[in-house]
Chains A and B, each alone.
Chain A
Amino acid sequence: MLRTLQITALLTFIMAIGMPGSPAQARAARDYISIVGSSTVYPFATVVAEQFGRTTDFKTPKIESTGSGGGMKLFCAGVGVDHPDIANSSRRIKPSEMSTCTANGVTDIVEVKIGYDGIVLANSVDAPRYELGLRDIFLALAKDVPAPDGTEQLVPNPYRKWSDINPALPDRTIEVLGPPPTSGTRDAFAELAMEGGCKTFDWIRAIRKTDKNRYKGICHGIREDGRYVEAGENDNLIVQKLRDNPDALGIFGFSFLDQNADVVQGSFVEGHAPTFDAIAASEYPVSRPLYFYVKKAHVDAIPGIRGYLAEFTSDRAMGEDGYLSERGLIPLSSSEYSEAVSAVSELKTLRLATH
């Protein structure tokens, strides 16, 4: 008994001593690509990573699903094998993130736009299909809305039914399941759908010039009286809840609509249904570009990055009939596509226009 305890104690000691020694070992080299970032880009990036890992001699890249903001924070923390090589993002890099990057020595970044993602408002196939305008969406979900009597002032959102907003809409209570504020989908929805409807009021648009923060507060603020239900980051859960509750609408990414067309249907927005073609032709208004960012300093230091980039931007992946489009990524137009290809082959450094 004493002997075994002594041995285990010794082993523990050795492990504890060995710990500070091991990072040196880890720092020496990393033979796999490390990718972080958006959970929206994750399902696409992982397909490419898997394809790359299985068809080449390189290891399959490691992809962490951290969210766009969290990914950028890790990405911009510095150069070296301890830091990720690529950051996926469901929005463009912010100037503030660029300056963090620069401050930490991450100066040369290559930006690659990979395609578009549509955000859909869907409901159960058992319920009538909605035909919404951006203004309807804003009025249904904003925290404060312009007074219904037409005066130029804001009142707390009084609408209870869709038909209160627009007589053409169904006589059903407003109940929308959507992502929480930490989600990139929520950011994009607020920016594209809410703000799109918000700025149809001329007097609110006028505020933008005088007080940008107030304008943003009005347009992006989502009501908190229970009509908008934060249903978590898991889009599958929203789809399930919609099936059980035909009165509710849900907000999620196009790929989930694509996979569950037998359960849910996408509402028309401004007269366009969220179909693959309508999003690709940018007719459907609520769609956003997806990106990834590459650290130039890592390209030749970590084996396989060039190959991964080539696989991602290849025609069989990102092209119109590529395997990413089968997963629900809306491909780029041909001019944008050739831009992405040249960004990768020439490793063009990103220069953000100064605001």
Chain B
Amino acid sequence: MGNLSQSRAQTLEKVRASLALRYRKERRFRFYGAASVVFGLLLVILLFGSIFGNGYTAFWQTQMQLDIYFDPQIIDPDNTGDPKIIGRANFAKLARHSLAELFPEVSGRRDRRSLNALLSSGAGFQLRKMILNDPELIGETLRLWLPADDEVDMLVKGYVDRTLPQGSRRLKDRQIEWIDELAAQGRIERQFNTAFFTSGDSREPELAGIGSAAKGSLFMLLITLSLSFPLGVAVAVYLEEFAPKNRWSNIIEVNINNLAAVPSIVYGLLGLAVFINFFGLPRSAPLVGGLVLTLMTLPTIIIAARASIKSVPPSVREAALSIGASRMQTIFHHVVPLAMPGMLTGAIIGMARALGESAPLLMIGMIAFIVEMPSTPMDPATALPVQVYLWADSPERAFAERTSAAIIVLLVFLLVMNGAAIWLRKKFERRW
């Protein structure tokens, strides 16, 4: 008896002695966990902060206000009214004339060239579009906001160091004087950059936009979703509910898991070999891109859908069967609707991955300069991540902020998609 109480006392003592150590261990472990979470958060903040800090300025674009006289002598000297002849006129000249009137003291070819360099070449395109839309304007004078050159844009946004010697700047001292004078007259203003969202790619940073890339991405995602979701769900339902459990279904299961881990570039090579070389589909088309991304997301969706079918309790199936429902009825009236939130979540996460993918698109010719908006999935198009890649490789300084801005747009899309996945789960999830 005494022995026992003695040994108990010893044990208690031992426990007490080690207790502090064990608490310390636990505290340390908790600290490590918290530290890694903080570290991860810091990295995310750093990433988002640097991208946002570099990119938010691209949502505003420097515009220049000019009084444009739509000179019939330049636009349509013979007064033909023929849109073909009008379309060929030198519209940039109209803007240049108006700029020259503001600075009458500038003369000489060289100086005038450097003055004209302040205007974007997009100014001419904008005027051309206005006149083609409304030929009535010929002969009138309008006060218009026209895009300024990207160098001006960079100066106004404070990316150019004015103190540097003239030789290491792209804008010369005189040009900066002119810009300051225009700004003093209130003719230079930063306006919201709608062109960034509506127009296609351009080699002029001030005209470049993500419109066509976003539309290409949209086409691809629609194709991917409409193919991979029904296919993935069908495969999952069959494998979970109908397929016999034997060696073959095991092999299929292992292979689906393997496919989910295959690097995406491999799917690009497959797409090149099968869809382009064998079926003869056009290069650079969102249709091919969508098919390739379908192959890529299919395993993800199948795995998610199977998991959510599995999580439907057998009692639901048994109840349906017991009151006389057929297996088809059981599955489509009860199991699939209950598993739907999980399937949708899987599909959305798969789509979000597909949206950010650029490697497989490299192989099928979607890394391309495309200005026109694609109007069908057969037209050439790029995708958002590809546009980011192409801009990051452009020499012009102003493309750096466009790159970050395009990344912001991409991130917003991804956040919205992931948010939708969480919302769907929260809204339809049933706990058993």
**Chain A residues in contact with chain B, CB under 8 A?**
1-2, 5, 8-9, 11-12, 15, 19-20, 22-23, 25-27, 30, 32, 34, 36, 39, 42-43, 45-47, 49-51, 53-55, 57, 59-60, 62-66, 82, 125, 233-236, 253, 255-256, 258-262, 321, 323, 327-328
Contact = CB atoms under 8 A, between A and B. Distances in A.
Contacts of B113: 321
Contacts of B247: none
Contact of B395 (A12, A19, A30, A255): A255
19 contacts: A1-B332, A5-B336, A8-B230, A9-B234, A11-B226, A12-B231, A22-B287, A23-B280, A23-B282, A25-B378, A26-B281, A42-B369, A43-B203, A50-B371, A53-B372, A57-B87, A60-B371, A62-B370, A259-B396
Q: Which 9 A-B pairs have the closest CB atoms?
A: A23-B280, A60-B371, A63-B369, A64-B368, A8-B230, A46-B369, A262-B168, A259-B395, A261-B168
Interface stretch (B57-65, B177-185, B386-394): B386-394
A8 B226 contact: yes
A82 B367 contact: no
B370 A19 contact: no
Contacts of B365: 36, 64, 66
Contacts of B203: 43, 46-47, 50, 327
A19 B279 contact: yes
Contacts of A261: 167-170
Contacts of A45: 369
A62 B284 contact: yes
Given A9-B230, A12-B227, A50-B202, A1 B333 contact: yes
B369 A23 contact: no
A82 B276 CA distance: 9
B271 to A, nearest CB: 13
Interface in B146-191: 161, 164, 167-170
Given A26-B280, A262-B164, A63 B368 contact: yes
A258 B393 contact: no
B397 interface: yes
Contacts of A253: 395
B88 A258 contact: no
B244 interface: no
B125 interface: yes
A82 B125 contact: no
Given A15-B226, A22-B281, A125-B168, 10 more contacts: A8-B226, A9-B230, A12-B226, A26-B378, A53-B371, A60-B200, A62-B284, A234-B393, A261-B168, A321-B113
B131 interface: no
Interface in B345-375: 365, 367-372
A34 B380 CA distance: 10
B337 interface: yes
The CB with the most chain A CB atoms within 10 A, among B87, B337, B390, B395, is that of B395
A304 to B, nearest CB: 13
A42 B121 CA distance: 19
B168 A59 contact: no
B194 to A, nearest CB: 18
Given A2-B332, A23-B279, A82-B280, A260 B226 contact: no
Given A65-B367, A261-B169, A19 B284 contact: no
A204 to B, nearest CB: 36
B342 to A, nearest CB: 15
Interface in B378-432: 378, 380, 390, 392-397, 400
Contact of A234 (B84, B280, B372, B392): B392
Interface string B217-231: 000000000110111
A65 B390 contact: yes
Contacts of A39: 393
Nearest to A265: B168
A69 to B, nearest CB: 15
Contacts of B227: 12, 15
B281 A43 contact: no
A54 B92 CA distance: 12
A233 B227 CA distance: 35
Given A65-B368, A262-B164, A54 B125 contact: yes
Nearest to B336: A1
Contact of A22 (B283, B378, B380, B396): B378
Contacts of A262: 161, 164, 168-169
A34 to B, nearest CB: 8
Nearest to A7: B230
Given A5-B332, A234-B392, A23 B281 contact: yes
A62 B380 contact: yes
B368 A259 contact: no
Nearest to A321: B113
Interface in B323-338: 332-333, 336-337
Nearest to A62: B380
A329 B44 CA distance: 40
A47 B395 CA distance: 13
Contacts of A9: 230, 234
Nearest to A258: B395
Contacts of A125: 168
Contacts of B400: 236
Nearest to A262: B168
Given A47-B203, A57-B87, A19 B369 contact: no
A20 to B, nearest CB: 6
Contacts of B125: 54
Nearest to A4: B230
Contact of B369 (A25, A62, A258): A62
Contacts of A15: 226-227
Given A60-B372, A64-B365, A27 B226 contact: no
The CB with the most chain B CB atoms within 10 A, among A25, A50, A57, A234, is that of A50
A328 B392 CA distance: 18
B233 to A, nearest CB: 8
Contacts of B337: 1
A93 B320 CA distance: 71
B332 to A, nearest CB: 5
A43 B169 CA distance: 21
Contacts of A259: 170, 395-397
B367 A64 contact: yes
A163 B226 CA distance: 64
Contacts of B283: 34, 64, 82
